[in-house]
Amino acid sequence: MASDGQEHLGSALQKRQFKPFPGPPPNSGPPLRILPIGGLGEIGMNCMLAGVRDRYVVIDAGLMFPDFSDLGMQKILPDTDFLAQWKDRIEALIITHGHEDHIGALPWVVPALDPGTPIFASSFVMELIKRRLTEYSLWDEKRFIKFDMRQKFQAGPFEIEPVRVTHSIPDCCGLIMRSSEGTLVHTGDWKIDEHPLDGEQFDRGLFSALASERVALMMSDSTNVLSPGRTLSEQVVHDSIVDKVLQHNGKGRVICTQFASNVHRLYGVKRAADASGRKVCFVGASLSLYLEASWRDGRAPFDPKELVQPEELRHMDPNQVLIVTTGSQGEPRAQLCMAAREESRVLKIQPNDLVLYSAKVIPGNEGKVSKMLNALAAQGARVRQSRGDNLHTSGHAYQDELVEVLQSVRPQHFLPVHGEYAFLTEHALLAKEKAGVNFVEVCVCVNICQTWGFKNVYVCLCM
């Protein structure tokens, strides 16, 4: 029997409630319609409707993790009741990539849509979706459709062309959405990695070609708009991990903590292990989930069968093991945090362990992470975390990359997405001042009803 997800979380689940509204009138006003229902004015819960008159597609179905003020909440979702009310107008769901803030709400969004509504995703992302929805008895092989980059397909009123972007998880795309009334572009989450470890380059050529199409509206990731310059390539992090592991040869174990979804980071881990004669061991179930999905999709840096089992660690020479573990954000039940409290059954910190913190501290987690790292150091581990160590790079574009793509596409209108209010306003200024976009709006998901009428695009937000 299919689940609506409620039984899995119960009262720990919170939906954002929408006030009822009719939406844009179907046969008057600008024909292109954007209805954001998450991801604007906040980090997470990315979900929006894009349409032509009264025919829509949904872009992404993400969740948001609550902050410390949301006691008792585990997940915050877009209002699926709203989607259910509009299911007769929704003709497809398209996923840009596999992070939780883009696919995490699928177990609740999928039951809200019509059972015949197709759901599109790239190959690796579909592996993640299949595993998740099988747990909820929602997987339907015929309904879920894989696409390739630059392979055009019809979804509702749009001809969709996925465009390759680089990010911190494999197989990500932006969406070029062409219709009889004009073209929309949604970048998804992205950066420009000049040296991607999987060889899948950011598709500059396709973005540049859009300039001749006079794109009606472009929507772009605003996460790192406050950061000047350009992001580091994952290749730099790869080389740094290899160097740090080799420098620790003969001195003890190496423990690397990272985001579980960052499969690209494992290229450096594997290279470092091979170069130093170490075996890789995963401590934390979510790491294996992403590696196995990438293996099934042919993208993994190594075969999961090569991994040493955590139970074998106690019998291994410390100089022959490289441990990758969860817990970079100080999550209480993650293995690294449990090891810091001396509560993990499989990961016991030893004097002279080298801990490589290959992640970013997410705002709000600073206290937990600091406490964890101090506890590790108190047990004799050496912790490497500083920015100068080049152990992490962001998956979201910095200012120079944002400007480059805006200048390449040259949209008529621009709507910053994926970011808090300060990020959206700064991105809007960047588009005007550095890229020459004349029509720019900032739209946030707050508890009011707002509509904007661009020259030929209608943006409606009502919560």
Q: Give the fold, CATH level 3, of 234-389.
A: Rossmann fold (3.40.50)
Closest by alpha carbon to 100, among 54, 38, 51? Answer: 38
Contact (CB, 8 A) for 336 and 373: no
> Within 13 Å, how many C-alpha atoms sit on residue 165's CB side?
27
What are the boundaries of each domain within the chain? 32-230+394-460, 234-389
Per-residue pLDDT at 39? 79
Closest by alpha carbon to 246, among 271, 282, 283? Answer: 271
Place of tokens 């001396």: 342
Round to whole Å and give the CA distance between 221 and 58: 17
Contact (CB, 8 A) for 397 and 411: no
Q: How many CB atoms lie within 10 A of CB 390?
A: 17
Per-residue pLDDT at 452? 44
Beta bridge partners of 186: 175, 219
Per-residue pLDDT at 20? 45
Per-residue pLDDT at 25? 61
Contact (CB, 8 A) for 58 and 48: yes
Round to whole Å and give the CA distance between 355 and 379: 12
Round to whole Å and give the CA distance between 7 and 18: 22
Per-residue pLDDT at 38? 82
Per-residue pLDDT at 6? 52
**113 by DSSP, 3-state: which?**
coil
What is the spatial order of strands in the sheet that 217-221 belongs to? 153-155, 158-165, 172-179, 182-186, 217-221, 413-417, 439-440
Q: Give the fold, CATH level 3, of 32-230+394-460.
A: Metallo-beta-lactamase; Chain A (3.60.15)
Closest by alpha carbon to 83, among 57, 46, 105, 109? Answer: 109
Give the β-pairing of 32-38 and 55-59: unpaired
* Local mean pLDDT, 10-residue blocks, the chain (463 residues): 51 50 62 87 87 96 74 76 95 98 97 98 98 97 98 99 99 98 97 98 98 95 97 98 98 97 97 98 95 97 96 95 96 96 96 97 91 98 92 98 98 92 94 91 53 53 39
| 212 Cβ contact partners less than 8 Å away, ≥ 6 residues apart | none
Contact (CB, 8 A) for 18 and 24: no
Place of tokens 């997940």: 75
Closest by alpha carbon to 47, among 428, 7, 39, 145? Answer: 39
Q: What pLDDT, in 10s, does the model give residues 138-149? A: 999 999 999 999
C-alpha R_g of the chain: 22
Q: What pLDDT, in 10s, does the model give residues 297-356? A: 999 999 999 999 999 999 999 999 999 999 999 999 999 999 999 999 999 999 999 999
Per-residue pLDDT at 287? 96
